[in-house]
Amino acid sequence: MSKKTKQKKPLREQAQLLTRLASLLEKGYTMSQALEFLRLQGDKKLGTEIRSCLTALKKGRPLHEAFQFYELNKEALVYLYFAEQHGDISFALKESGRLTNEKAQQLIKIRKVIQYPLLLFLFLIGLFMTMSFVLIPQFSSLYSSMNEKPSFFLLTFFFLANHFPLLFLTFIIIMIGILFYCRAYLKRLSPAQRVRFLSCLPIFGPLYKGFCSYSLSAHLGNLLKGGLSINESLQAFCRQKHSPFFQGEGKRLKLALTRGRRLPEIIAEVSYYELELSQIISHGQSNGNLAQELCDYSALVIEKLEGKITKIISILQPLLFSLIGLTVLCLYLAIMIPMFQAMSSL
């Protein structure tokens, strides 16, 4: 399939299409009828994309490949691929739509959290630049004329403010260098190594580990509920190409099982899954209800993840405001102390 470089479609638009499709399928529409209905309701661009999807479906292409014309996010494409294996397309569309919408909502919340502090930060940069080029030279002249020696605090602040443009530029260059290095480093790693590295990061790591646990339990649980065996489910993991990590994970799990190892211990030996996942698998296998327990566990994990993200966001904004407030206080003291010293020497 030829792919053109296009601007990514907004997540809310993707979620809306997936949810509407699921609703139409539940009302008895076929996939072609549902897509045709949405094509008639949408704008010209959406109509062209849906027409491409319909053409691909008529040519016998799988659903997950046809939806690449609509530029769905990879998580949704993985959901559709596995839905074709277990047969519950409507559930997969609804769940992927819900997750995509939740992802969009979290991104909006994060933007709102950092938007105002970012404006204040830009204001502080402007204030530092003004001090560097206007106030600091005047304060230096004032102290020279009074034969007064500034305190250590003021000397330090004068140095930082005087060299702020150079220090700020150096900081930006270092941060860009670190980002490029991290990106190049991650590209050199295998998918499993990349996931292992990301799951060990502070703050972000536990969230990523939770999402990996959710994805495996949700997809494996739905495949088992659809009547596939564990071996057939892992073969489905190996065949899909939207997630290189889960493709490799399917091969790893399948190989370990053929060597006589138990699935819970294979899951427990890696660091990118929650410990509870191996315990759930062991419990589900012992009572013959593995498929349902995996699906129930995935629902609990995503609920916990949403709670953790909300908590982090609620902590982030007050922390940013506190840091900015402390910086403003230091600026205020740096301006007022020389003035008081000058007045006391008169």
**The pTM is what?**
0.68
Segment 238-285, tens digit of pLDDT: 988 888 898 999 999 999 999 989 999 999 999 899 989 999 999 999
Within the chain, where are the H helices? 11-26, 31-41, 44-58, 63-66, 74-86, 89-130, 136-146, 152-162, 164-188, 191-199, 204-225, 230-239, 244-258, 263-268, 275-287, 290-344
Contact 11, 75 (CB under 8 A): no
Name the average pLDDT for the chain.
82
Question: Of 219, 224, 286, whose CA–CA distance to 247 is shortest?
Answer: 219
pLDDT tens, 118-176? 777 787 777 777 777 777 777 767 666 666 666 676 677 777 777 777 888 898 899 99
Residue 57 burial (10 A CB sphere; 0-12, 13-18, 19+)? middle
Q: What are the sequence ranges of the domains in the chain?
A: 1-72, 73-346
